[in-house]
Structure 1
Amino acid sequence: MIREEELEIAIKVVIVGNGGVGKSSMIQRYCKGIYTKDYKKTIGVDFLERMIDIDGEDVRIMLWDTAGQEEFDAITKAYYRGAQACVITFSTTDRNSFEAVKDWKKKVENECGEIPTVLVQNKIDLIEQSIVTFEETELLAKNLGVRLFQTSVKEDLNVSNVFRFLATKCHEIIKQQYNNVLSQNTPTISQFNPTFHSKNSGTIVLTRPLRKSKRKSMLKKCGWI
């Protein structure tokens, strides 16, 4: 039997928004600590992950970069399912991406229901070229009921705060759901049945623990050791 303290919490986060707003660059910056100014259009879905510590527990953040172009909508739609958190991104210099935010939130909610979500205004290093006012952005976040973050992937400004905020929110929800399950009926967690199910958010992802060597390799991969 796997003990509670050996369980690993994994959180699936989808990053959505129009093409060219910096979604792929944001993930690369957060997981690999690198930035490139050469924009390459994402085809379908890209995936990276990073392990962080929250309240003394290992939390694996799995980041799914969905293509922003509508021609890939049929491909990416399935990848929304099972997401436990969402980052909606627009660019400081792209008015269309700002106006598309409400549609992106609706798309995610249609597949995932209401999940922890943040609004990210990227490229604030280009604030002098901004096509949206701060008041507009604040009002949009308020109307959508989400937390607003202003980031610069290029300058590595505020990027890690986005994902730590979401991971912390999800960690609280998952632990609460886990405790609720235990209070109702103490289950047996085995290697053949490692996952709890919840009608609220789809799945509480409690996976088998990584071996030490594999965990060390993953932390090294994401730049933590």
Structure 2
Amino acid sequence: MVKYVEGSFNEDYIQTLGVNFMDKKVQIKSTNITFLIWDLGGEKEFINMLPLVSNDAVAILFMFDLTRKSTLNSIKDWYRQVRGFNKSAIPFLVGTKYDEFVELDFQDQEEITQQALRFGKAMKLPVIFCSTSHSINVQKIFKVILAKAFGVKLVLDEIVNVGEPILVYK
């Protein structure tokens, strides 16, 4: 969120405890659009704030740490909870810390990538791997959101190969 809105990455950024909010104005085909971006911490104690950030959402990004498989496994529960509040939002599965992920053994990369792609297919959601520290796919996440939300044709090559920054959105 901070990388997209402010264009910066802070190594000392403290992960969200509770809810954080930012906005960003963009122009698409001479129409001004304001992204209102809410960030909800991923710990179970913040589940009671889920309606606040999801009820009126157009898109919902389910974020997980590519270097910690347990965070990917917890996505199923978050997905079920969110869909109870908002069935119309466009869901996305976003793996973070791609820069650290590529340092893992190939077998671990393959296992996490295949599991993320399976989840994406089963839940019918785009899968994107990103790195905020290395500016990998951060802008593309929001391009895909805009394209899906407004029915705009998007010309981005999909990436499905293990070890590369996955980008599956069709």
Establish whether TM, by shorter chain, passes 0.5: yes
Which whole-Å CA distance do the structure 2 matches of 1:113 and 1:47 have between them?
Answer: 22
C-alpha displacement at 1:138, in angstroms? 1.5
- Provide the secondary structure at the position in 2 that maps to 1:157: coil
One-letter code aligned to 2:136: L
C-alpha displacement at 1:46, in angstroms? 0.6
Out of 110, 121, 129, the residue aligned to residue 104 of structure 2 is: 129
Of structures 1 and 2, the one scoring higher in RCO (CA 8 A, sep 6+) is 1
One-letter code aligned to 2:15: K
Which whole-Å CA distance do the structure 2 matches of 1:171 and 1:137 have between them?
Answer: 26
One-letter code aligned to 1:59: I
- Match status 1:160 vs 2:139: yes
Structure 1 unaligned regions, length at least 5: 1-26, 174-225
Please say which structure displays the higher CA radius of gyration: 1
Out of 64, 80, 85, the residue aligned to residue 90 of structure 1 is: 64
- Provide the secondary structure at the position in 2 that maps to 1:155: coil
Out of 77, 101, 112, the residue aligned to residue 86 of structure 2 is: 112
C-alpha displacement at 1:70, in angstroms? 1.3
Structure 2 unaligned regions, length at least 5: 153-170
Task: Tell me which residue corresponds to 2:43.
Answer: 69
Task: Tell me which residue corresponds to 2:160.
Answer: none
TM-score using structure 1 length: 0.61
One-letter code aligned to 1:37: E
Question: Aligned pairs, how many?
Answer: 147
C-alpha displacement at 1:129, in angstroms? 2.4
Task: Tell me which residue corresponds to 1:12.
Answer: none
Which whole-Å CA distance do the structure 1 matches of 2:141 and 2:14 have between them?
Answer: 23
Superimposed CA distance per residue, residues 37-70 of structure 1 (whole angstroms, 9 cap, x where no aligned partner): 2241323211111111222211111100012111
- Match status 1:35 vs 2:9: yes
- Provide the secondary structure at the position in 2 that maps to 1:128: coil
Which whole-Å CA distance do the structure 2 matches of 1:77 and 1:96 have between them?
Answer: 24
- Provide the secondary structure at the position in 1 that maps to 2:151: helix
Which whole-Å CA distance do the structure 2 matches of 1:119 and 1:43 have between them?
Answer: 21
Which whole-Å CA distance do the structure 1 matches of 2:43 and 2:137 have between them?
Answer: 26
- Provide the secondary structure at the position in 2 that maps to 1:59: strand
Check the 8 A contact 1:90/1:121 in 2, yes or no. Answer: yes
Task: Tell me which residue corresponds to 1:170.
Answer: 149
TM-score using structure 2 length: 0.79
Q: Percent identity?
A: 22
